C-alpha cells in the first residue's frame, strides 16, 4: 500500500469513527430505562418553545416572576447514566407586597435547579424537577400546563419541606418561597 492509499484509508476510518460516535437522537419522552449513555433527547416536535418567556403571578401577597428559557444539549448525569437533553430552564424572582426580594435565582448565583424533565403533549403540560432552596428544602416536582398563548397553570408538589440542624446550618434561609399550590395562573409578560 502506498502513502496516498494509506492516507485515504486513514481518512475513511476516521470519518466512519466520527459518524458512529455521534450521539443517538431520541424524542424528549424516551423512557429513562431505554436511554443509552451519550444519547441526546431532542425537542424534535417543538414542545418546549411555547413555554419560553417571562410570566408573572401573585400568591399570598407575593409576586412571582418566572423566566423560562430553552437550553439545548443540557448535560444530565443520573446514577450510572450520562446523556444530553433539550430542556426548559426556569429562573425566578419572588417579591413580597413591599417589593422586597425574598428570593432571586435569576440575578444571583445559586445552586437551585429548576428544569424540565418530561412533556405530556396530550395534556399540553410539562413536568419540572425543582432542587429546592437551601439544603434542598422543598425539592420536588412542578407541573406547568399551557392554557393558551398567554397563560400557564402552575402546580408545585414539594417532596420534603423540613430539615434538621444535622443536615443544614441554622443560619441558612430554608423558607420555600415558590407557591405551594395547584391551579395558580401565570400570565405571560
Whether residue 2 lies inside any domain: the answer is no
Q: Quick check: is 110 in a domain? A: yes
pLDDT in 10s for each residue of the chain, 189 residues = 666 655 565 554 444 444 444 568 999 988 888 999 999 999 999 999 999 999 999 999 999 999 999 999 999 998 889 999 999 999 999 999 999 999 999 987 778 899 999 998 888 999 999 999 888 899 999 999 999 999 999 999 999 777 767 778 888 888 899 999 999 999 999
Give Cα 78 distance to the centre of its chain. Answer: 14
Is position 147 within any domain? yes
Q: Does 5 fall in a domain?
A: no
Q: Are 178 and 102 spatial neighbours (Cβ–Cβ below 8 Å)?
A: no
- How far is Cα 51 from Cα 28, in angstroms, rounded to an integer? 15
80 class by beta-carbon count within 10 Å (0-12 exposed, 13-18 middle, 19+ buried) = exposed
Q: Output the pLDDT for position 6.
A: 56
Question: Is residue 18 in a domain?
Answer: no
Supply the pTM of this predicted model.
0.83
47 located within any domain:
yes
- Is 19 domain-assigned? no
CATH number at residue 109: 2.40.128
Q: Which structural domain, as residue segments, surrounds residue 146?
A: 25-188
For residue 66, give the nearest of 177, 161, 182 by alpha carbon: 177
| Number of separate domains in the chain | 1
Domain assignment present for residue 182? The answer is yes
Amino acid at each position: 500500500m502506498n502513502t496516498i492509499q494509506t492516507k485515504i484509508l486513514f481518512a475513511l476510518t476516521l470519518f466512519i469513527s466520527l459518524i458512529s460516535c455521534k450521539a443517538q437522537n431520541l424524542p424528549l419522552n424516551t423512557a429513562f430505562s431505554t436511554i443509552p449513555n451519550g444519547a441526546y433527547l431532542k425537542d424534535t416536535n417543538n414542545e418546549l418553545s411555547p413555554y419560553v418567556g417571562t410570566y408573572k403571578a401573585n400568591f399570598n401577597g407575593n409576586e412571582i416572576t418566572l423566566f423560562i428559557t430553552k437550553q439545548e444539549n443540557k448535560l444530565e448525569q443520573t446514577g450510572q447514566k450520562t446523556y444530553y437533553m433539550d430542556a426548559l430552564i426556569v429562573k425566578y424572582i419572588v417579591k413580597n407586597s413591599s417589593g422586597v426580594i425574598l428570593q432571586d435565582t435569576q440575578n444571583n448565583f445559586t445552586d437551585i435547579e429548576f428544569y424540565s424533565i418530561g412533556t405530556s403533549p396530550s395534556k399540553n403540560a410539562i413536568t419540572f424537577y425543582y432542587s429546592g432552596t437551601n439544603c434542598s428544602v422543598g425539592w420536588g416536582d412542578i407541573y406547568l400546563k399551557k392554557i393558551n398563548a398567554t397563560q400557564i397553570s402552575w402546580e408545585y408538589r414539594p417532596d420534603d419541606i423540613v430539615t434538621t440542624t444535622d443536615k443544614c446550618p441554622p443560619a441558612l434561609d430554608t423558607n420555600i418561597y415558590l407557591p405551594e399550590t395547584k391551579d395558580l395562573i401565570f400570565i405571560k409578560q
